[in-house]
Amino acid sequence: MKYGIAITTSATPVFIEPDQKDYILRISKCSEENGYDSLWVSDRTVYPNNISEIYPQQFGINGTNPNSQNVMESLVTLSFIAAKTQKVLLGTSVLVLPFRNPLLNTKMLSTLDVLSEGRLIVGVGTGWMKEEFNAMGAKFSKRGLITDEHIGLLKSFYQNDVTNYRGDFIDTIGMKMYPRTHLGRPVPIWVGGNSHASIKRAVKFGDAWHGIGLTPNEIKQSVDKINQIADQQGKNPSEITITLRATVKITNKPSDLGDDRPYLTGNISQIADDLQQYKQSGLEYLVISMAADSTDEVLASITEFSDYFVRL
């Protein structure tokens, strides 16, 4: 299994801008030095002031801190990380395509791929927060169709010098775009989301399916769906990498929560058992949101996890 580190996620312990910059720099350097395959950033524009009231299960008293949505812009952040690292891959988990102009976004991604010398992975999604769509002037009801066309444009651009793509929302017939990607390569596209529609989109368009916060059994069920849909579409399911973004929390003592213990939470032995279950379920790539209460503790956990599972 390969491992990446998610930098800007709900597990980030700092939310003030200068501290975010320091956190990004230190986590990027530590992750690369400890042999992780990739670094990942999240995507968020605006969110409601009363998000805890609108989404109490997710952001209420026992949920995620609403300040976790205060993340830097994803592609600017990845460009910054690219300049501060050498070999580690750079990904979005995930880029919300309906918010972005497809032509400008395609150009930004290819530029980033050139400047990083071919290190980019484009994780994409449709988005879910209706209030954010309204504020962005984006079509919530059409987000799936817009996402499909946006991916179609990306794939067309990776295959042709002239970007001949026409859909209901995009028309680039006869247009040419610069720059090409690094050495003209097709940038890997990971399709994020746990829904059936997301899984179908991953089989149709993606190089990987990128689940979020699922258990090993849920991964197994999704893999079964991927195999079934791929068979229906005449595709080889082995060409679709099975990936997951999930939170890891390392504790000094074994967790005593029993069946209520969240997966990937506990001491190293418990986490090792969980990883084995994930591997058996078909998981090939884990993007880790490393949970801790401070930047120093995140760094320590990244190093400890690497010692046991990355540098084998």
User: Considering only CA atoms, which of 151, 131, 120 is closest in space to residue 69?
Assistant: 131
What mean pLDDT is predicted for residues 212-227?
98
What mean pLDDT is predicted for residues 184-188?
96
What does the pLDDT read at residue 14?
A: 85
- H or E element, residue 106: helix 102-115
Tokens of 230: 């791929």
pLDDT digits (tens, 9 = 90+) for 73-92: 999 999 999 999 999 999 99
Amino acid in the structure at residue 67:
N
Whether 65 has a pLDDT exceeding 90, the answer reads: no
Whether 212 has a pLDDT exceeding 70, the answer reads: yes
Domains along the sequence of the chain with CATH: 2-310 (3.20.20.30)
Average pLDDT for the chain = 95
CA 12, CA 142: separation in Å to the nearest integer?
32
- Residue with token string 């919530």: 140
User: Considering only CA atoms, which of 65, 88, 73 is closest in space to residue 21?
Assistant: 73
As a whole-number percent, the residues of the chain with pLDDT over 90 amount to 86
Q: Model confidence at 67, in pLDDT bands (50, 70, 90)?
A: confident
pLDDT digits (tens, 9 = 90+) for 25-63: 999 999 999 999 999 999 999 999 999 999 998 898 888
User: Considering only CA atoms, which of 90, 196, 108, 117 is closest in space to residue 153?
Assistant: 108
Q: Model confidence at 5, in pLDDT bands (50, 70, 90)?
A: very high
Q: Which is more confidently placed, 32 or 175?
A: 32
What does the pLDDT read at residue 61?
A: 84
Q: Model confidence at 15, in pLDDT bands (50, 70, 90)?
A: confident
What does the pLDDT read at residue 68?
A: 85
Residue 245 to residues 4, 40, 220, 263: CA-CA distances in angstroms? 9, 10, 15, 12
pLDDT digits (tens, 9 = 90+) for 99-123: 999 999 999 999 999 999 999 999 9
CA 242, CA 282: separation in Å to the nearest integer?
7
What does the pLDDT read at residue 62?
A: 80
**pTM for this one?**
0.96
Whether 161 has a pLDDT exceeding 80, the answer reads: no
Count Cβ neighbours within 10 Å for each residue of 176-189 and write b for 16 or more, e otherwise: ebeeebbeeeebeb
Strand partners, 244: 211, 286
- Residue with token string 């609108």: 54
- Residue with token string 């610069």: 178
CA 273, CA 110: separation in Å to the nearest integer?
39
Q: What is the largest CA-CA distance in the chain?
A: 63
**How deeply is 47 buried, as exposed, middle or buried, from its count of CB atoms within 10 A (0-12, 13-18, 19+)?**
middle
Whether 164 has a pLDDT exceeding 90, the answer reads: no
What mean pLDDT is predicted for residues 197-207?
97
Whether 10 has a pLDDT exceeding 70, the answer reads: no
Whether 187 has a pLDDT exceeding 70, the answer reads: yes
What does the pLDDT read at residue 168?
A: 94
End-to-end CA distance of the chain: 11
Residue 57 neighbours by CB distance under 10 Å: 7
**How deeply is 169 buried, as exposed, middle or buried, from its count of CB atoms within 10 A (0-12, 13-18, 19+)?**
middle
